[in-house]
Chains A and B, each alone.
Chain A
Amino acid sequence: MIDIIINITLLTFLAITSVAIMRMTNLFAVIMFGIFSLLSAGLFVVMDAPDVAFTEAAVGAGISTVLMLATLALTKDHHEKSPRGHRPWLPLAVVGITGAALVYGTWDIPGFGDPNAPTQTHVARYYIENAVPETGVPNIVTAVLASYRGFDTLGEVAVVFTAGVAVLLLIGGKRSKSSTKVTHERGQDEA
């Protein structure tokens, strides 16, 4: 019973935080995003997924927030312009129709935590029973990640390496911010 109450409370906090992110402006949105990441890591622990909670807390509340703050610092706007008003009716309509269709789709999903759901009865049983006899590693997630599905992890390390190389190519050099240089060049082209 307590489990269900904690679950529902944390999920409601998460929904409220997401609405706050949507409505706030630059620096405050990034800070709320860090709080959003931390709340979702807590929820992952409540849902019995400690490895995922570890990764989400370290990566979401750590690396992502720091990178967004660095981007904010590098893209500071010195001329304060007032934000233009957007007409939100078309995006709201699109979002409303998509949300209604998805809710209609969840009507038949087996309830949360049902032990007879199809996801719990097919392949998971093999891994839970045979991970320790075949690999000797008690942490089933590590055994599946590194041994049974080793190719996927090789691809993932390649993706991370590629992202590092691409970021180095894009902003690796020590050039200074040159926004005035661009307008000067455009002025010369039109003259």
Chain B
Amino acid sequence: MKPNLILHVVSKFLIPLIIIFALYVQFHGDFGPGGGFQAGVIFSAAIILYALVFGLDAAEEIIPSRLLRILASLGVVIYAGVGVVTLLLGANYLDYSVLGSTQIAGQHLGILLVELGVGISVAAVMLIIFFAFAGRGRE
């Protein structure tokens, strides 16, 4: 896009706020509405806004495609890995009660890790899909 002063200034102001909001929704999903999926999609919306205003090449510089593919698989591995850890500690698969000293502490830790895995994976996959669509028609 041709450089447009209002869009540049307003998006430089908004994008950090959107990213902070995504982190808030991710980690306060226990006490208010929110959780992994919403946070991942909001985070990817911030990066998509950056790509729309400043160009696709600038967006690919801050988040290269190799890193996105690693992050997408990392999210799934974190989720499944929590289940394997609980198996190794002696309980059923994905039974979070054995992760902490009390049942409630274990459940808190388990839910936190699992939502983190979901958020990372969803954000990376949405960005992969957007970069694939946007980069298709170019030489």
Contact = CB atoms under 8 A, between A and B. Distances in A.
Contact of B29 (A66, A142, A175, A176): A142
At the interface, is chain A mostly helix, strand, loop or mixed?
Answer: helix
A180 to B, nearest CB: 14
Interface stretch (A5-13, A118-126, A150-158): A150-158
Contacts of A157: 75-76, 79, 117-118, 121-122
Contact of B33 (A50, A62, A67, A74): A50
Interface of A: 50-51, 54-55, 58-59, 62-63, 66-67, 70-71, 73-74, 134-139, 141-143, 145-147, 150-151, 153-154, 157-158, 160-161, 163-164, 167-168, 170-172, 174-177
B136 A161 contact: no
Contacts of B73: 161
Q: Shortest 4 CB-CB distances between A and B: which pairs?
A: A164-B125, A136-B104, A50-B33, A70-B133
Given A146-B114, A150-B94, A160 B139 contact: no
B38 A66 contact: no
At the interface, is chain B mostly helix, strand, loop or mixed?
Answer: helix
A63 B107 contact: no
Given A54-B34, A145-B35, A171-B136, A135 B125 contact: no
24 contacts: A51-B38, A55-B38, A55-B41, A58-B38, A58-B42, A63-B44, A66-B48, A73-B137, A134-B107, A136-B104, A138-B30, A139-B30, A139-B33, A139-B35, A142-B111, A147-B107, A150-B114, A153-B118, A154-B83, A157-B118, A161-B73, A168-B69, A176-B138, A177-B137
B41 A160 contact: no
A62 B32 CA distance: 22
Contact of B103 (A54, A134, A161): A134
B129 interface: yes
Contacts of B33: 50-51, 54, 139, 141
B128 A135 contact: no
A58 B48 CA distance: 13
B35 to A, nearest CB: 5
Contact of A74 (B44, B110, B129, B137): B137
B121 A161 contact: yes
Contact of A164 (B42, B83, B104, B124): B124
B80 interface: yes
B107 A164 contact: no
A176 B139 contact: yes
A136 B112 CA distance: 12
A137 B108 contact: yes
A156 to B, nearest CB: 8
Contact of B125 (A51, A70, A161): A161
